[in-house]
Structure 1
Amino acid sequence: MDMEEYSPRKADDPLALLLKQDLDPLSVSELTERIARLEGEIVRTRSKMDLAVNHKASADALFRK
């Protein structure tokens, strides 16, 4: 899989800017903090996906009856 597949379409999108950020000036502790924040965002995003999937499944089940 190509990372471009998951990249946002707009150049000014925050995720696109994040992916382009130069990591060289960051210290180990700053990189550790960055990873922790990104992992937190992954958890938040997965939770949102789970809610959306469960909501859709509930709606599908309701309208199938």
Structure 2
Amino acid sequence: MSFDPDRPIKKPEHEVGCDLSLLSVDELQKRITLLEEEIIRLKMACDSKEAGKKAAESLFKASK
């Protein structure tokens, strides 16, 4: 991915530790949903990496 200095930088939808006092219940619920979806994405990435690691370990064990 290349950096384009003319492209505006997108502000994150949620920043961990940010002030929540001015957000409505609806905005908080949207952020919860966003974070839950991100947790699922992170878990899927972990599972994928774990599967790759197990496959590599299996391959090396079989070649010994």
TM-score (norm 2): 0.73
Specify every segment of 5 or more residues in structure 1 that has no aligned partner in the other structure, as ranges.
1-13
Give the number of equivalent residue pairs. 50
Are 1:47 and 2:44 counterparts? yes
CA distance in 2, matches of 1:56, 1:37: 29
AA aligned to 1:18 is E
Q: Does 1:58 align with 2:55?
A: yes
Larger Rg: 2
State the structure with bigger RCO (CA 8 A, min sep 6), 1 or 2: 2
CA RMSD of aligned residues (A): 1.6
Moved over 3 A (4+): none
TM-score (norm 1): 0.72
Structure 1 residue 51: Cα displacement:
0.2
